[in-house]
């Protein structure tokens, strides 16, 4: 690892070395700009480390005082990279919660998922971190998160069938004990 910059510990020289180790010529025209592009792309794909879930969830919307039913947001995009192969995994998340006087906008839930997805991850931990952050910062009565993703490290190597999804879930608060509520969330999640 280079010690020239704390912000960019992996330099363009390192990417060029990587290309060479893949039996490529980093100086051929098609690859000349690749180290710079890869560097920018990885800055984006790991930008979640610079985001703070507490900051994302600190603004509440008014009018939720009387609302104590399940709020479910489906189809939240997930673009992440597995920490075992640095390969993409992607899909969608469903986030459900029963508010305790505080609700947040849809864009906040999307940003929350993104803040944990744009890190090196395993899907199980990503799912759990989204649920834990909501529980900690929104203090709702219940939280349920279901994530469905395709993992290119598995599909491309023939370990999984093409298009096969990995499904993970995390239930907290009343969703742990209230079977009716959990069934409602899971059926909303499945029947998109």
Using rule CB under 5 A, residue 153 touches Zn ion: yes
Nearest approach, Cβ of residue 184 and Zn ion (Å):
33
Q: Which region among 11-19, 57-65, 66-74, 145-153 touches Zn ion (by CB under 5 A)?
A: 145-153
Which of these ranges, 74-82, 91-99, 129-137, 181-189, lies near Zn ion under the rule CB under 5 A?
Answer: 74-82
Is 150 a residue that touches Zn ion (CB under 5 A)? Answer: no
Q: Which is nearer to Zn ion, 84 or 190 (CB)?
A: 84
Cβ distance to Zn ion smaller for residue 42 or 60: 42
User: Beta-carbon neighbour count of residue 33 at 10 Å?
Assistant: 9
| Residue 40, strand partner residues | none
Residues 75-94 that bind Zn ion (CB under 5 A): 82, 84-85
Closer to Zn ion at the Cβ: 64 or 154?
154
Contact letters for Zn ion, residues 1-30 (x by CB under 5 A): ------------------------------
Block residue for tokens 């180790």: 21
Please work out the total of residues on this chain that contact Zn ion, with binding judged by CB under 5 A.
Answer: 4
Closest CB to Zn ion among 17 and 84? 84
Could you list the residues that contact Zn ion (CB under 5 A)? 82, 84-85, 153
């Amino acid at each position: 690892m280079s010690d020239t910059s704390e912000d960019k510990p992996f330099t363009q020289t390192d990417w060029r070395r990587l290309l060479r180790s893949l039996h490529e010529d980093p100086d051929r025209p098609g690859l000349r700009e690749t180290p710079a592009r890869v560097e920018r792309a990885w800055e984006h794909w790991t930008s979640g480390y610079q985001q703070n879930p507490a900051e994302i969830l600190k603004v509440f919307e008014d009018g939720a005082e009387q609302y104590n039913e399940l709020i479910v947001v489906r189809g939240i995009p997930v673009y992440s990279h597995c920490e075992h192969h640095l390969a993409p995994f992607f899909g969608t998340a469903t986030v459900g919660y029963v508010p305790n006087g505080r609700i947040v906008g849809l864009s906040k839930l999307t940003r929350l998922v993104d803040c944990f997805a744009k890190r090196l991850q395993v899907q199980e931990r990503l799912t759990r971190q989204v649920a834990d952050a909501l529980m900690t910062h929104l203090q709702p009565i219940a939280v349920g998160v279901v994530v469905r993703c395709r993992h290119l490290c598995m599909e491309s190597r023939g370990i999984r069938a093409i298009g096969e999804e990995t499904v993970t879930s995390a239930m907290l608060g009343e969703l742990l004990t209230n079977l009716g509520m959990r069934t409602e969330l899971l059926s909303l999640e499945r029947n998109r």
